[in-house]
Amino acid sequence: MAFERTTIRIMASKASDPREDAVKQIISISLGASRDDYAFETEFLGQPFHVQRFGADGDVDRAAALLEQWDDKADAFGLGGIEFPHVIGTQKGRPRHNPALVKLADRLRTPLVTGERTRSVGHEWSLRHVQYLFGNNYFNNARVFFFSGMANATMARVLSEFTDNLTFADPILDHGVSKLLNSYRDLDLYARGGHAALSWLPGRKIAASAAPVRAWNEYVIRKAMQKATVIVAPAYNFYQNMEKCGLEELGGKVVICSTVYDDRVAFLKERGADVIIDTTPKVLERVVGINVLGAIIVAALEKPPEEISDDDLLEIISAQKMDPRVIYPSGEPRRVNRFAFVIHPLSKEFLRKDRLVNMVSSVAPPSFLDAVEKVVAYAPPWIYSRITGVRSPTGVEAEGWLITVGGTPRQMLSHRPEFTYKRLLQAARMSRRLGAQIMGLGAFTKVVGDAGATVAKLADIPITTGNSYSASAALWAAADAVRRMGLIEIEKGSRIKGKAMVMGATGAIGSVCCRLLAKAFTEVYMVGRNMAKLLALKAAIEEETPEVTVHAATRSDRFIADMDVIVTATSGAGKTVLDITHVKPGCVITDVARPLDLSPEDVARRPDVLVIESGEIELPGNPEMGNIGLPHKVAYACLAETIVLALEGRFENFTVGRAIEWEKVREIYRMGLRHGMKLAAISGVNGVFSDEDIQRVRDLAVAERARLGIP
């Protein structure tokens, strides 16, 4: 490029200057406003510098005069307030500056740089550094809006490695065409052909200046910004492009920009930006333009600009720790991670929650709901609700989406697993487009087929079933229920002197429940259909926890009347697996199966037994979400696992397949505590149990035990 030229003869004569410790003069000539002029002294690479800026107020002739005035008096010039050439497409490398200045640059004896190469190298370095600094996942699946991808092609290329959700407003801003580009590939095609072709169309700019078209284009840009989580703001003509942006467009966003002066920080703070990433590092006492940094580097190295390679610049950036500035306008670090979670109707009656379906079904024959259930099963996924306001004590926040697939458990079981896989993969693609960084499977979607293994293998987003936290929370709830019932002797630091049974013991959740109960109870009874698997699990538990007495059985009826705690973790899909009439009064039953093993009618038959529906989790912060059948702030454990992983920044396939890893159960429990997860109020088939409800069950159990002579 013309501005990066100088003569080796001049540089050589300056290098032979015996004044090794002389203060080097850096003169920045800017086409910007003269009111922003400054002068200061600093040190860089162990050398002293005097830096001055002169603004030409947009007057090219004045800028040229200043360059000629300071030629030979400065060690290097920086030229600012100009628009950089494009580095992509057919316009690549073509200068966009005033021809008079280009011609003048060839005549100057003092090296002159615009900082263009420093800017390009800095853009890539900055984004990769931030991505790595914050867990190597900061930009994963982020929804990024560019005012100009052509002007920021390096950033677009780097971000395309982390996310496909890129949107560019180039056609609108360059040519007034009401069209957004929606991928890096689209930008590349536009740069190679569309941009040049549109520039030749007569009348395009004139038509775009018409009030209705201009208003529509502004609306399109605003809507795109509102959907984005990251905004790449222009350094050139910053206010011209950003002045109409308000809280809706910038509130809660990450804004990336070059050379973010204090007035720009104030502007973005006023409009609610959470994070500002300045790709021009603040290595001096004040924020200076990229042209100034480029000039200082040239003067410090005493080499012609064309002999300074990108590797040289990267070495300096790294050695001098010229990291990008990450600014939090509110004064507190802010990070919002994103997740998605798949839900589905648990039965055809659940479909009545839709007002139209409920209205029609109230007058239509019973077969109407059957037909709706079948039709909805084939529907593509849709967004049920957005979740916001989840905030960890660590300061990290999470937001996400509940995505519905229409199949009820009955419909899922009536088709091959591939039927459900297809819809879950559609949901995964939707999640990624929304910007989610991990997706959780809820209720029956984590049971069908191979429990998420195939989906995790084929999806382009990390998957978790939530089974690890479900197992942990189930026992967490059971322990709390036993304590509140007060019918079993519990000594601090000792095992509970009682008997616990797990039904579905060799299943994904059941096997881990057995291991957890073995840590707390003196006797554990495991019930399953396969004795060989039961005996293998029994041997493993006895090796891990030799103090516990473990029993294995394929039928529960011999032991059920003696149990103090029962955990049902079967996949019986609505089949009767437990006769509640044979249970001991005061028994605590934790039903972690989905669909539930015990119906409301079953529970009503034994008011002296406490039946809880697994362990629901109270989320930290003040979360808002659509109705999922639980109290405010309370979520199912499988959903809570997805949120915990989002808060932790663990965007990986965490719990998939039918085998749950013991270490992951303990790990997710500890992560949950770190992020403020709490066991929610225990809930049953009729809602949350109050202390009075539990006392009522206890009183009935004590009376029934007295009648039967049970101690």
The residues spanned by each domain of the chain are 2-116, 439-447+459-711
Residue 236 has pLDDT above 50, yes or no: yes
Distance (Å, whole) CA 195 – CA 90? 9
Q: Helix, strand, or coil here: 132?
A: helix
* CA dihedral for 617, 622, 627, 632, sign (positive or negative): positive
Q: What is the pLDDT of residues 411-430, one digit of tens each?
A: 887 888 898 899 999 999 99
pLDDT band per the 50, 70, 90 thresholds, residue 619 = very high
* Whether 604 contacts 560, CB under 8 Å: no
Is 638 exposed, middle or buried, given 0-12, 13-18 or 19+ CB atoms closer than 10 A? buried
Q: Find the mean pLDDT for residues 539-567.
A: 93
pLDDT band per the 50, 70, 90 thresholds, residue 14 = very low
Q: What is the pLDDT of residues 39-48, one digit of tens each?
A: 999 988 889 9
For the beta sheet containing 634-635, the strands, ordered from the edge strand earlier in sequence to the opposite edge, are 634-635, 617-618, 678-679
Name the residue with higher pLDDT: 495 or 134.
134
102's tokens? 């280009």
* Whether 184 contacts 157, CB under 8 Å: yes
Q: What is the pLDDT of residues 309-365, one digit of tens each?
A: 888 888 888 777 778 889 999 888 999 999 999 998 877 767 767 676 667 667 677
For strands 617-618 and 634-635, give the pairing. antiparallel
Beta strands in 528-583 (DSSP E): 549-553, 565-568
Residue 571, pLDDT score: 65
Residue 1 has pLDDT above 50, yes or no: no
Which residues does residue 53 pair with via DSSP β-bridges, in sequence order? 28
Residue 95, pLDDT score: 46
Amino acid 389 reads: G
Q: What is the pLDDT of residues 269-314, one digit of tens each?
A: 999 999 999 998 777 777 888 899 999 999 999 888 888 888 888 8
Distance (Å, whole) CA 554 – CA 114? 79
Distance (Å, whole) CA 3 – CA 512? 67
Compute the residue count for the chain: 711
Nearest to 119 by CA among 254, 256, 307, 289: 289
Q: Percent of the chain beyond pLDDT 90?
A: 49
Q: What is the pTM of this model?
A: 0.81
Distance (Å, whole) CA 362 – CA 365? 8
Residue 200, pLDDT score: 53
Q: Helix, strand, or coil here: 573?
A: coil
Find the DSSP H helices in 408-485.
409-414, 417-434, 453-458, 467-485
Calculate Rg over the CA atoms of the chain.
Answer: 33
CATH architecture of 439-447+459-711: 3-Layer(aba) Sandwich (3.40)
Distance (Å, whole) CA 501 – CA 601? 22
Q: Find the mean pLDDT for residues 24-33.
A: 92
Backbone angles phi, psi at 192, to 5 degrees: -80, -20
Residue 580 has pLDDT above 70, yes or no: yes
183's tokens? 């991928």
167's tokens? 């949107």
Distance (Å, whole) CA 541 – CA 523? 12
Nearest to 29 by CA among 83, 100, 78, 98: 78
Mean pLDDT check: name the lowest of 54-58, 119-123, 255-259, 602-606.
119-123
Distances (CA, A) of 237 to 181, 222, 271, 290, 385: 21, 17, 18, 15, 38
Residue 329, pLDDT score: 94
Residue 207, pLDDT score: 58
Cis peptide before 595 (omega within 30 of 0): yes
Residue 235 has pLDDT above 60, yes or no: yes
Residue 448, pLDDT score: 77
HEC per residue, 145-186: EECCCCCCHHHHHHHCCCCCCEEECHHHHHHCCCCCECCHHH
Residue 219, pLDDT score: 94
Vertex 488 angle, CA 570 and 518, to 5°: 45
* Whether 470 contacts 592, CB under 8 Å: yes
Residue 680, pLDDT score: 85
Nearest to 630 by CA among 451, 387, 411: 387
Residue 637 has pLDDT above 60, yes or no: yes
Q: Find the mean pLDDT for residues 116-122.
A: 86
Q: Percent of the chain beyond pLDDT 70?
A: 89
Residue 6, pLDDT score: 34
* Whether 609 contacts 589, CB under 8 Å: yes
196's tokens? 């040049």
Residue 574, pLDDT score: 52
Mean pLDDT, the chain, as a whole number? 86
Distance (Å, whole) CA 44 – CA 51? 12
CA distance between the termini of the chain: 92
